[in-house]
Amino acid sequence: MRNNLQSFRYNIGMVQKRAIDRDFNYDIFSDKSILVTGGTGSFGKAFVISLLKNANPERVIVFSRDELKQHEMKTSSVFQDSRIRWFVGDIRDKDRLLMAMQGVDLVVHSAALKQVDTGEYNPSEFVKTNVYGSQNIVEAAIERGVSKVVALSTDKASSPINLYGATKLTADKLFVSANYYGSFTQTNFSVVRYGNVMGSRGSVIPKFLEQEEKDEPFQITDERMSRFWITLDTAVNFVLKSFEIMKGGEIFVPQIPSMKIIDLAKAINPEREIVVTGIRPGEKLHEEMISEHDSHRTIRFSGEYIILRDPSEIKFYDSALTVEEGFAYRSDTNPMQLGLQELKQILNLG
């Protein structure tokens, strides 16, 4: 059981492979300068590794406010590469962003405050980072003549009920709307929205495995709860692909599987006691990545969904299909559902 987390990450990646792990052209990153905000986080590190391994960038700028994480990353053998530049800075500081973006071609914006519980009790801090910081990214990218910016979002930004989701929805709007400055700038902005990254810090899988190891009951906030899931590698590939096909103003949403949290617990150990603790402040019963209110401008294209700025922009995507009226992409109604037996197979539990 102690080794099941790594096995889970690999096997569920296979479940998603057909949908979104597609071939794409790394040449668009060759000889380019790429800045990654939040570059010392889980996504940032995986993204940098993928670029260095598969593309030939001129330089990759790791931008983050955490000096300790940068030191740990610098001293890791994986990141001993002369193409990496290290920038300590906060996205709240526009002047620092302007300095970091000198000569930059592409920006990946993954820096954010993300803990739902923390956001409910510290709303002003989330607004400063997730909203004002995002506006700083937009303005600095335009002033420095950056070609493309892709910002990472979350399923909690669709029909948000918590402060974190509300700030990310606001950030999404800022990046999409930034494309209306097109008559003044050549910078294109798009957004990638996906669900929970499996095995990430604070997520439920390592929590269950830790409770299993300590012989403690599994804690679930509600027996009906469901969630979208994506592997880190798949998230990185999806962002890379978005750079290739983006025109500006899109919100890209991957087709990924969902599962019931209680099924995951039973797949790990059907004999383990389950304690229902109640939904926490700001927590949804089911997650949503596309609201029915966005269905009139949502298309299916190349194994993913794209929320367009305007329905007329479908003309930019050959063979794209519109979704049906009233369509919503929710974790409880998602057709890609992982049942109990499939979860056991993914976890190598028979």
**Across the chain, what does the average pLDDT equal?**
90
Report pLDDT for 10: 47
- What is the end-to-end Cα distance of the chain in Å, rounded? 13
Query: What residues contact residue 39 under an 8 Å CB cut-off, 6+ apart?
Result: 45, 47, 48, 61, 62, 63, 64, 110
Say if residues 153 and 108 touch (Cβ distance below 8 Å).
Answer: no
Architecture in CATH for domain 17-195+230-255+290-329: 3-Layer(aba) Sandwich (3.40)
The residues that are catalytic are: 156
pTM: 0.91
Q: What is the pLDDT of residues 79-94, one digit of tens each?
A: 999 999 999 999 999 9
The domain ranges of the chain are 17-195+230-255+290-329
What is the band of 348 on the pLDDT scale with cuts at 50, 70, 90?
A: low
CA distances from 326 to 21, 154, 169, 234 (A): 28, 21, 20, 28
Maximum CA extent, the chain: 62
Collapse the DSSP code of 85 into the 3-class scheme (helix H, G, I; strand E, B; otherwise coil) and give the result.
Answer: strand
Structural tokens at position 313:
């922009």
Residue 296's CB is within 10 A of a number of other CB atoms, namely: 13
Q: What is the pLDDT of residues 25-38, one digit of tens each?
A: 789 999 999 999 99
